[in-house]
Structure 1
Amino acid sequence: MPRWQGQPRPASPEGKLVWVPTELLLRQELPMWPGDHHFLPLVFDDDPRPFHGVMPYKDGRVVFWSYSR
C-alpha cells in the first residue's frame, strides 16, 4: 500500500488535522482518548510482530488493558 504523501485535509468533524512528530504522541503531550496511551507505544516500537489487545471501557474510562504478540 502506498504511503500518504501530501498535506492533511484542511477540515474534519473531529477538529483541525495536523501532522505531529511521533515523539509527541509517545510523551502523551496531545489530547487523546485514554486508551491511546496504552497501545500507541506498541504501534511505534521496533517489534515487527502484530499485537492483539483487549481494552474494555466503562463510563468512558479504561477498565483494564492486556495484549499479546
Structure 2
Amino acid sequence: MGKWIEEQLEMWAEDEERPFVFDKFNLNQLDIDEEGILFATYRPESYGEVLFEFFFDVQEDNSLRAEF
C-alpha cells in the first residue's frame, strides 16, 4: 500500500505541477463509530487538502479490512 500511495502522490504532482505529501496525522481527520471498534474513516491531507478516504472496518472473523 505504501508504494501505491507514493506513486499516486508522484502522479498527482506531475499532473498538477505542484507537490503532494501526506500531512502529519491529524486526529480530526479520523471518524470512529460510536462503539469505537466497528469502523472508521480517515481522510489524509496534503497541505490541508483532503486527498481521499480510507475506510476501515472489522469483519466477522475479527480481521481488519481497508478500502480506498
- Bin of the TM-score, shorter chain as denominator length: under 0.3
Q: TM-score, normalised by structure 1?
A: 0.27
More helix by share: 2
Q: TM-score, normalised by structure 2?
A: 0.27
More strand by share: 2
